[in-house]
């Protein structure tokens, strides 16, 4: 009945991880508030934003967590990962070291989260094509080997930002429904 439908609630925790300065905070602010900050200075602590989308006529909420700078100190705590059912693992396509770090971030995910979680490899800053340091193929290959979704985004010009989050949220929904 419609009463039962109204009673259904979906709230999924999604975490964003990756090296410092790859654009995690800006991906979230672009998705949640359509904002971009060219001089973002991260404060210490954990923050999240809740975003809703409609799937199969149902309201699905994602509580999306941002490290808020903890990753600089290699101190992303287990509380950050607790209960997460989705993850965006972000690197910067213009900085190879951030791509090399993806393996370490995946290890960290395996330590803290269920392997069935929805995971998306995100090559951010695709607007910086002229100084690209990691090819699309390399991103795709790594994602295929690790069993991740893959997308390139730009928090600066908005390319694929909404899509990146929505693919993850849809996959989580599919896993539970």
Binding site residues, ligand GDP, CB under 6 A: 20-26, 37-38, 40, 42, 124-125, 127-128, 154-156
Structure tokens at 3: 């009463």
Residues 6+ apart with CB under 8 A from 78: 112
In contact, 82 and 113? CB cutoff 8 Å: no
125 binds, among Mg ion, ligand GDP, none (CB under 5 to 8 A by kind): ligand GDP
Shortest Å, Cβ 108 to ligand GDP = 15
How far apart (Å, rounded) are the C-alpha atoms in residues 28 and 15?
10
Mark 27-56 with x for binding to Mg ion (rule: CB under 5 A) and - for no binding.
---------------x--------------
> What Å distances lie between residue 133 and 4, 57, 96, 119, 137, CA to CA?
51, 41, 6, 23, 12
In the list ligand GDP, Mg ion, none, the entry touching 124 (Cβ below 5 to 8 angstroms by class) is ligand GDP
Listed residue (5, 17, 31) closest to 90, CA to CA: 17
CA nearest to 168, candidates 156, 144, 150: 150
Comparing CB distances to ligand GDP, the nearer of 60 and 94 is: 94
DSSP per-residue codes, 68-85 = TTGGGGT---HHHHTT--
- Taking the complex as a whole, the smallest distance from the CB of residue 164 to ligand GDP amounts, in Å, to 11
Nearer to Mg ion, 28 or 62 (CB): 28
Interface with Mg ion in residues 64-93 (CB under 5 A): none
Of the pair 23, 139, the CB lying nearest Mg ion is at 23
For ligand GDP, the closer CB: 11 or 44: 44
25 binds Mg ion (CB under 5 A): yes
CB closest to Mg ion, residue no: 25
Q: DSSP code of 38?
A: T
Sole window of 8-16, 24-32, 78-86, 138-146 interacting with Mg ion (rule: CB under 5 A)? 24-32
């Amino acid at each position: 009945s419609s009463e039962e439908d109204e009673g259904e609630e979906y709230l999924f925790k999604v975490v964003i991880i990756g090296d410092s300065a790859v654009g995690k905070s800006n991906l979230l602010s672009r998705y949640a508030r359509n904002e971009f900050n060219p001089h973002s200075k991260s404060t210490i602590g954990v923050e999240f934003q809740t975003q809703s989308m409609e799937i199969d006529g149902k309201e699905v909420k994602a509580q999306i967590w941002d490290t808020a700078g903890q990753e600089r100190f290699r101190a992303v705590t287990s509380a950050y990962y607790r209960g997460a059912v989705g993850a965006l693992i972000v690197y910067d396509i213009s900085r190879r070291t951030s791509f090399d770090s993806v393996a370490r971030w995946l290890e960290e995910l395996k330590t803290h989260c269920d392997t069935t979680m929805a995971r998306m490899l995100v090559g951010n800053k695709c607007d910086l094509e002229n100084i690209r340091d990691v090819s699309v193929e390399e991103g795709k290959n790594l994602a295929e080997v690790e069993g991740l979704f893959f997308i390139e985004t730009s928090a600066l010009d908005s390319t694929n930002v909404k899509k990146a989050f929505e693919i993850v949220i849809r996959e989580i929904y599919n896993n539970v429904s």
